[in-house]
Structure 1
């Protein structure tokens, strides 16, 4: 599954919640975790390079926190644009997963998702796990996995990974948003045909066609069903097209009450 997990660290009070997620993911066969702190070049208040030993020492403390997991843990302090540095490092280290915390529904949440997390989502070549770090949102349960698909080839990576993850959850559901109005019969039939095909590949898969804007109805259905993880595909064939602003993927990442796993369409 995720043998090498790269973790974005910002030394916020969210660390205990991210640690909980790492503890649960370690049971999936993780062998290596790499903690990364980026001295951002984006903001005037960026810590100076002379502060690097301080952050290295802080990371060493976090490594100690993870000693009971039985996996190899290392760390790095890097410099540059955080989103780009994190995704480049994940690719260089051949990480299977990039884990980042995202804030709750407030100005900081908008700021964070408008910068580092969305930059990472646009650029990542490996699955990106966005973990809500608000106390009222965190859940380390693996009860319901929800795949949001539009049936296109660009979400094939998300569908493939869902099949691999499904045995880890009590339930697995695939949803697609389609027009349910009169005259949309063909669209509905095509959507159902694709969902039926997925159900034939993933044992026990539940399927559902939702009526309305996917940016709204998928988040609403996930909350109604109590999903613990939403899996979505990252569309686009190049860094300019990928994860464009206003896309369903971005909206779901912003509004979801639970963790969101963004999967590139290049996943094998």
Structure 2
């Protein structure tokens, strides 16, 4: 019998973290997963304060675990890690190897984010497992999911990993590809008539759909709705617009591989989606599940 799915929830006991915990509980009940609650106490404080915060955190976690077990029927454990918020979460994922790390919504502090990046983005860059950012209200299991792709092998591996998690078993899936129309970006594009522009876009759209159909045939995902959209601003903006139009409650986006220089980068599309999405986002490294 296969081991149950392990979901790790990083919590600082804030309202944002409560949202992550509620979503994790919904998933755990639906797919019979185990929860692991992680709280990090900042080590850069006097020892007596660290110990006091650790003891307080243990008491809160004990109460949360008891509630989850008794009221929700969810298998659950917890631990406190001493370190930096970023480093403590990464350490916990390395030691426990969860299938998914679940975190609260992105805290938008634009000036700080611009120069330092958020804890969420730093964590997603470093951990090897998928990360679920819970932006939307966790009131029901996922109903509609947008799967994004650039039709690359890395994207195929990421979507395969996401599908194998099974965290949205009843959701209706759409597979989306954003295509470029480079001729229309050229300085000389004004020389084209409206009819020529329409014909050109139709050709590009048909070619994009052909690529998407071929890509979808290699996936194990059952009969997703195929969507192609022209990149009129940024790919992330098109993804977010499509998610809004379809009332999707989950977006799945692949990140760049975690090796060499690319380890420092999320990829502009994934980063923009994570920062701006109103619904939940599952960020999946290409090799996260093997």
Would you tell me which structure has more helix in proportion to its own residues?
A: 2
Contact 2:106 2:133 in 1 (8 A): no
> Quick one: which of 279, 284, 289 aligns to 1:263?
284
Contact 1:231 1:263 in 2 (8 A): yes
1:96 and 2:99 aligned: yes
Aligned pair in 2 of structure 1 residues 47, 227: CA closer, same or farther (>3 Å)? farther
Q: Could you report, residue by residue, the CA deviation over 1:90-138 in whole angstroms, capped at 9, with x for unpaired residues? A: 122121110000146x538975x932101111011011000016xxx54
- State how 1:113-124 maps to structure 2 within 5 Å: 114-124=117-127
SS in structure 1 opposite 2:23? Answer: helix
- State how 1:1-268 maps to structure 2 within 5 Å: 3-41=5-43, 48-51=49-52, 52-67=54-69, 68-103=71-106, 106-107=108-109, 114-132=117-135, 137-164=137-164, 165=166, 168-180=169-181, 181=184, 188=205, 191-200=208-217, 201=219, 202-212=221-231, 213-238=234-259, 240-242=261-263, 244=265, 247-266=268-287, 267-268=289-290
Contact 2:128 2:258 in 1 (8 A): no
Matched residues in 2 for 1:17 and 1:118: separation?
Answer: 18
Aligned pair in 2 of structure 1 residues 32, 146: CA closer, same or farther (>3 Å)? same
Task: Give the structure-1-normalised TM-score.
Answer: 0.84
SS in structure 1 opposite 2:142? Answer: coil
Task: Give the structure-2-normalised TM-score.
Answer: 0.78
Partner of 2:191: none
RMSD over aligned Cα atoms:
3.2
Matched residues in 2 for 1:107 and 1:46: separation?
Answer: 30
Which sections of structure 2, spanning at least 5 residues, go unmatched?
185-196
Q: Which runs of 4+ in 1 moved over 4 A?
A: 43-47, 108-111, 181-190
How many corresponding residue pairs?
263
SS in structure 2 opposite 1:257? Answer: coil
Contact 2:16 2:105 in 1 (8 A): no
What is the CA-CA distance between 1:177 and the residue it aligns to?
Answer: 1.1
> Computing the radius of gyration over CA atoms, which structure comes out larger, 1 or 2?
2
Greater alpha carbon shift after TM alignment, 64-73 vs 51-60: 64-73
Contact 2:36 2:78 in 1 (8 A): yes
Which sections of structure 1, spanning at least 5 residues, go unmatched?
none
What is the CA-CA distance between 1:16 and the residue it aligns to?
Answer: 4.2
Q: Could you report, residue by residue, the CA deviation over 1:43-82 in whole angstroms, capped at 9, with x for unpaired residues? A: 7799932221111111111112212333331111112232
What is the CA-CA distance between 1:166 and the residue it aligns to?
Answer: 8.7
